[in-house]
Structure 1
Amino acid sequence: MLRNIHQDSLLNAFFLSILATAGLFYVNLGGSFLSAFVDGLSIERDAAGFIVSANKYGAAFGGLLAAIFIKKLIWRKSAYTLLFILISIDIISSQIPNANLLILIRFLHGTIGGFLVGIGLSVIARTSFPDRVFGMLMVVQYSFGSIGIFTVPRLVDAFGYSAVFFVLITFSIMTLLILPLIPDPKEKEETVSSSGVLSLHSKALLGICLMSLFLFQASNMGVADFAFELGKDIDLTNNEISNLLTIANIISISGGAFAYLIATRFGRTLPLLFGFTIASLFTYLLNFSENITIYFVANSVTGITWGFVIPYLLA
């Protein structure tokens, strides 16, 4: 069964995108994840923000660990182990009503998830066309994120804040079922010098790229986490916010699709400059979100640019 799927096929790109999404799926739920804690635990926005941030700081730490240990691991066996741990932590999290304790356990969850994302990205990097697979990754994240943003507020209303964790568990189980179908990546030729050390110029470019990725992700995630709360401030109901952001998220899928279709036809610098400029402009427009049209359009366009820029930075 494993041999029937070609490494560079569209189906494998989809499966790899699922794998690389599993550890950070809560990010794709947007502000509905944070809003669930505000409403379900009756805590302040800053406390809920700490819980969500702990997840993301843990993911950054987990990604760093993955970069260090990835070559020493068997990727498929490691992914199985990490997914089972993620499911266990989500089950435990669903039974904890204390915000301070949740901060600690979500940091642990983020660390495990970040490590899993690192494994997924390392497999993607060994495909023939990583730019395209990263574009598919954005399409997958926004597609499932749209489903999550639409359903999570309604599930929280019906079952309480713990519903968000069972959404994450469902995605992890789906990833476990897909994992056996992903073919092992073919080894690619080394692109570094015979000594195995990158040149000073390459290190400088890598550093700039990583810093750009960090800053771009930080700015977008920070805004996205409070998108729901911003909607509440202009007197929208949870369902109205959910509907608007779901549509915005569906529109945002086009960003990843553009990256998949364009690939490196225009290089990487021009698409990145274009994406950064548009993202900055429409992030600024969120300051005028008391106008519902601006709120909707700004969320849609920043989502499009997010999905468009990230594949180029990752590749």
Structure 2
Amino acid sequence: MLKYFISNKLPAGHPLTYLFLAFITMVGLSYINFMPGFVNALAGNIGFNEAEAGQIVALNGYGGLIGSTIAIFLVRRIQWQPAMFLFLVLLSAIDLSTIWLSELSVSTTGSSNYTLMLGWRFLAGTFGGLSLGIGFAVLARLNNPDRAFGTLLFIQFSIGSIVMYFLPELEAQLSAYAVFYVMAAFVLMSLAILPFLPALSLKYSTSNQPISDHTASFSGTSHNALLLMLAIITYQIAASAIWAYVGLIGLGANISNDDVSMYIATTGLLGVLGAMLPVISGNRYGRLYWIMAGIGMSMVSAIMLSASQLTPLLYVIAMSLLFFSWPAIQSYLLAVTAEQDTSGKLSTIAAVVSSIGLASGPLIASGFLNSENFSLMLYVCIAIFVLSFILLLKPVQAQEQERSIKLPAQYPS
């Protein structure tokens, strides 16, 4: 392993390449991994109300959408590492300056400036989305898309659990703005490991053949690809809506803040197991049944959280179901996307629609809150989970059938 660091570049197939690239991709919108802590901080000592907190998170996500959309047109025209370095530097500067601007606003006006926070977090999301979109395209170019996106989800849920566990202590030691220090620290770590990644070209497929515009765009305009993108966005809307408010749901059930953070952190570790599922199994047993089971678990999670008498046990079980199923479903769907288009362009589009879902979830959820009652919001999430399942059924079935036809040809008796 040492020789790779001495030569300064890892091979494309090395496990550390998957790990480092997944980490850097995650960092673009890292707040998503500990969104309940972000929302709790904004709606707590930083001084915004619950609806404003959800809207700030949503604007951060819509900035990510803009950035990821721009990345679609950049990925085949740029050297990805210098571009990634620039966007990450700008992102870290904005994360750190958010703290200064908010504290300045409080000191001069006596309260946090809602409009200023909206605009500044939108800008942070834009640069984060640019790096995220580029990262998705590079991940799709690696040899094993199931492993690549499974590793990404593994990183996301590992980081989410760790941050949620330590965030209350960090807030006690630093300030209510500790979550912004955490985001900036992750960006700085990404800048440190970026030079070790291989200089993969985004102008060529994994077979080293140039990608024609026709090939690159065919899957992106097909009927199945459209259904797949809609399935990704709807599932992300429902899951992120619950994720954004799961901390406040716990607090509303009279669970203490420290216990809520601990429960989210510990159950979030099941997300690591869910993310490892596609890494371990790959596509050897197909993806459809795993996805069906995962969406069923997500629906049961929302039903349990909507219980009128939410106990700590129900709360923990509900989060366990969601956190295990969410990364498995997303990594399988992203692997389906990567197989539909080897250019990586459709994967970047998937990053965009995923950003739409992640940004829209908290915003939609905030519109269904009623005097801190989360039941209506959770019922809407259940309906959206059902819609996502209906949308993904045809494209995943089609790819399973296509793969079953190809395998005998690839491995003749």
TM-score, with structure 2 as normaliser: 0.72
Counterpart-to-counterpart distance in 2, 1:191 and 1:301: 43
Matched, 1:204 2:223: yes
Matched pairs, number: 315
CA contact (8 A) 1:252 1:301 kept: no
Alignment map for 1:180-259 (pairs within 5 Å): 180-185=195-200, 187=204, 188-189=206-207, 195-196=214-215, 198-199=217-218, 203-259=222-278
Report deviation, 1:306: 0.7
> Is the alpha carbon distance of 1:117 and 1:200 closer, same or farther for their aligned partners in structure 2, counting shifts above 3 Å?
closer
Name the structure 1 match of 2:150. 135
CA contact (8 A) 1:58 1:107 kept: yes
Percent identical across equivalent pairs?
A: 26
Q: 1:293 aligns with which of 313, 336, 339?
A: 313
Computing the radius of gyration from Cα coordinates, the structure with the larger value is 2
Matched, 1:154 2:169: yes
Report deviation, 1:302: 0.4
> Is the alpha carbon distance of 1:115 and 1:235 closer, same or farther for their aligned partners in structure 2, counting shifts above 3 Å?
same
> Is the alpha carbon distance of 1:94 and 1:60 closer, same or farther for their aligned partners in structure 2, counting shifts above 3 Å?
same
CA contact (8 A) 1:249 1:300 kept: yes
Name the structure 2 match of 1:72. 77
CA contact (8 A) 2:29 2:64 kept: yes
Unaligned runs of 5+ in 1: none
Structure 1, 152-161 or 98-107: larger mean CA deviation = 152-161
Name the structure 1 match of 2:387. none
Name the structure 1 match of 2:17. 12
CA contact (8 A) 2:67 2:126 kept: yes
Name the structure 1 match of 2:86. 81
Matched, 1:105 2:120: yes
Q: Deviations over 1:63-104 (max 9, x none)?
A: 111112211111000010001100110111112132221111
Q: 1:263 aligns with which of 275, 278, 282?
A: 282
Report deviation, 1:137: 0.8
CA contact (8 A) 2:8 2:195 kept: no
CA RMSD of aligned residues (A): 2.0
Counterpart-to-counterpart distance in 2, 1:293 and 1:43: 30
Report deviation, 1:251: 2.0
Unaligned runs of 5+ in 2: 103-111, 336-413
Matched, 1:304 2:324: yes
Name the structure 1 match of 2:133. 118
> Is the alpha carbon distance of 1:193 and 1:275 closer, same or farther for their aligned partners in structure 2, counting shifts above 3 Å?
farther
Report deviation, 1:154: 2.3
Report deviation, 1:57: 1.3
Q: Deviations over 1:183-232 (max 9, x none)?
A: 12364246977844644896211111111111111111111111111111
CA contact (8 A) 1:192 1:198 kept: no
Counterpart-to-counterpart distance in 2, 1:283 and 1:7: 40
Q: Deviations over 1:246-305 (max 9, x none)?
A: 101112210001111111112233322222222222222211261211111111110111
Q: 1:53 aligns with which of 54, 58, 61?
A: 58
Counterpart-to-counterpart distance in 2, 1:8 and 1:228: 39
Matched, 1:29 2:45: no
Report deviation, 1:4: 5.4
TM-score, with structure 1 as normaliser: 0.94
